[in-house]
Structure 1
Amino acid sequence: MPNARANHPTRRGILAAGGALGLGAVLAACGDDDAKSSGSDSSASTSATSGPWTFKDDRGTTVKLDGTPTAIVAFTGVGAALYDYGIQVKGVFGPTKTTDGKADVQAGDMDLSQVTVLGNVWDEFNVEKFAALAPDVLISTMFDDAGTLWYVPEASKDKIAKLAPSVGISVYDRQLTAPLERMWQLAASLGADLTAAKATDAKKRFEAAATRLRAAAKAKPDIKVMAGSASAELFYVSGSNLSVDLEYFKALGVNFVEPPESAKKEGGGWYESLSWENVDKYAADIIMMDDRTSALQPAAITEATWKKLPAVKAGQVIARSPEPILSYDKCVPLLENLAEALEKAKKVS
């Protein structure tokens, strides 16, 4: 995790996770070692037709219930992914609404009028509202190998755990395709019809987008891509070795700027933080910028050093989602946008 003290990230570090500043975070990645997750086996999920429900999560924990859960509370991004598969959650926690009341980017297509928001920012979780929902299960992602449930506050996690069993989907030390498959399995266990055209078409589009990105990267091997995130004070450059999206893109052949491990030490191995005066430390032809509402967006950056960067001057800045919504439908644009950027990119660094 970012900016970690030992294995326990600070709040500031979590906000800056994955080279991205913001309340959302770390995406992890690492090779094709899907089997590393205790639940990569499709037997981890069961049919939601009738009878008892069981699901073995990525902590190796098996949740057993008398029936398929219907009162589901989930991290916002998980709720959005399940929604894409036709599963409606009752409550969410995590970035859900922006300050002007609109849906946060992490809320996807969810109908927010149909969910109870238990917390909208880091360390906010209304335990009383959670209890009132009579939850069958709580589902979140995990950005470390210790089983820490994302956005479940440390101070109240024990109270929350007593009210409902939990399921954790790992987005740590694996490529994007692994948690995508796990969310697919989870949705199936909850009753999603994954033979429906919407689901199967999304999966085919994802595979096609991956093929396109691989071809674009192969055609432009000299194009350097930098994953960044901005705050008023600092610019963060993410390494690809811990982010599920970047590690997957790298496996497809994308050539990333990689800060040395020594430079990422303060960021817990996730990122290097630079002053705006030093934002030109790395040469890049394309810059991918954190699209979360908690990060400073490119249009709002006024630093002269930023505006002088070759990629910025060339208009080769695109959005990055450091916390992808883990449905195939929502991940297709992530691949397509990067593929298009590579196809159009000029060598400017």
Structure 2
Amino acid sequence: MSAAQPWGFTDDRGTELGAARVPERVVAYVRAGAALLDLGVTPVAVYGSGHDGPGYDPAKAGGLEAAGVPYLGPGRALDEELLRELRPDVIVDVTYDGKSPYALDEAVADRLGVPLVALSVGNELTLPEILDRFRELGASLGAGAEAGGATGSAAADSTGLAEAEDFLRGVAGRTGLAVLALSGAGPDQVHLARPQAWPELARLAALGVRLLDPGPGPGANWLTADWGRAAELRPDLVLFDNRFHAVPPYETPPGTRLAAWNPETPPSPAAYARFFRELAEALAA
């Protein structure tokens, strides 16, 4: 795709976006930016969410920091003048509700006169559908164009993900271990994930991983409880949130295995292939 061609894309809010040429200078929320980098589009800069600090969270950075992509800090506190100086052609964020961008106030993009793409990462889409949408956006932005087209790379990534899923399916079927996904909030509090509320956890369940549900109580995505509740569920393996703002597990039954989980894994086949392989290895250990 040539940058001289007109560009159009409809995001997951149903917003139709367009430009006179294919955007070349992409600024993105860190999760979206890491996915685009995996897909062959290198952002000129990325920003974080309200959970993020002034520097990269290693769990969320993917290959961005190694690629030298600047991090601008949390999106809600962005220096608009600095953003303007970057001359973005498009801003890419995510949405959990299908209505609003997650990490950046849309008014910022409006003031800069820059289209803002918001792609869904909520549970109204399956994980394969989420990955497809990011592929579509990457392709529209010319992913792989310098290497003669993205088709070969996309096929290789898809093959790698399929292989990782097959590996995990086989291990999960052999071991039958019970898995609890959670995010630590401190010594007295933990957020226990409801598996069907998270596309990647729902995908794990579809692959045969025996995920534990925390049970009834308030909260659509998480049940907030004490660590004793997590122990009562008697998981064989705990998937713990490894983002910077979360804390490690405080209390689990003796012998419980641990594996890292980033609830904001970049929505790319390569990133999820790594996660699925690491989980399979933890289950098989």
What secondary structure does 1:272 align onto? strand
Contact 1:119 1:126 in 2 (8 A): no
Residues 66-117 of structure 1 show CA distances to partners (whole Å, capped at 9, x for unaligned) of 101012110011111111222121221106xx87966622111124684443
TM superposition shift of 1:336: 0.9
Indicate yes or no: 2:165 matched with 1:206.
no
Segments of structure 2 that go 5 or more residues without pairing to the other structure are: none
Using a 3 Å threshold, how does the CA distance of structure 1 residues 228 and 111 change in structure 2: closer, same or farther? closer
Give the match for residue 247 of structure 1: 202
Using a 3 Å threshold, how does the CA distance of structure 1 residues 48 and 214 change in structure 2: closer, same or farther? farther
Give the match for residue 57 of structure 1: 11
Give distance in 2, aligned partners of 1:325 and 1:159: 24
What secondary structure does 2:14 align onto? coil
Indicate yes or no: 2:236 matched with 1:236.
no
2:164 corresponds to which letter in structure 1?
Answer: A
Aligned counterpart for 2:93 among listed residues 140, 162, 182: 140
RMSD: 2.6
Taking structure 1 as the reference length, what is the TM-score of the superposition? 0.72
Aligned counterpart for 1:338 among listed residues 259, 279, 283: 279
Give the match for residue 217 of structure 1: 172
Residues 131-171 of structure 1 show CA distances to partners (whole Å, capped at 9, x for unaligned) of 222221111111113x2212114xxx324323211111101
Using a 3 Å threshold, how does the CA distance of structure 1 residues 113 and 329 change in structure 2: closer, same or farther? closer
Aligned counterpart for 2:29 among listed residues 60, 70, 75: 75
The alignment-based identity, stated in percent, is: 28
How does 1:72-111 map onto structure 2 within 5 Å? 72-94=26-48, 104-111=58-65
Segments of structure 1 that go 5 or more residues without pairing to the other structure are: 1-46, 345-349
Using a 3 Å threshold, how does the CA distance of structure 1 residues 110 and 99 change in structure 2: closer, same or farther? same
Using a 3 Å threshold, how does the CA distance of structure 1 residues 338 and 117 change in structure 2: closer, same or farther? closer
Give the match for residue 20 of structure 1: none
Give the match for residue 118 of structure 1: 72
TM superposition shift of 1:187: 0.9
How does 1:1-349 map onto structure 2 within 5 Å? 47-48=1-2, 50-94=4-48, 104-111=58-65, 114-120=68-74, 123-145=76-98, 147-153=99-105, 157-163=106-112, 164-173=114-123, 174-193=125-144, 195=150, 198-221=153-176, 223-232=177-186, 233-260=188-215, 262-263=216-217, 265=218, 267=219, 269-298=220-249, 301=250, 306=251, 309-310=252-253, 313-314=254-255, 316-344=257-285
* Count of aligned pairs: 278
Higher relative contact order (CA 8 A, sep 6+): 1
1:167 corresponds to which letter in structure 2?
Answer: V
Give distance in 1, aligned partners of 2:139 and 2:244: 31
Give distance in 1, aligned partners of 2:72 and 2:80: 8
Contact 1:70 1:136 in 2 (8 A): yes
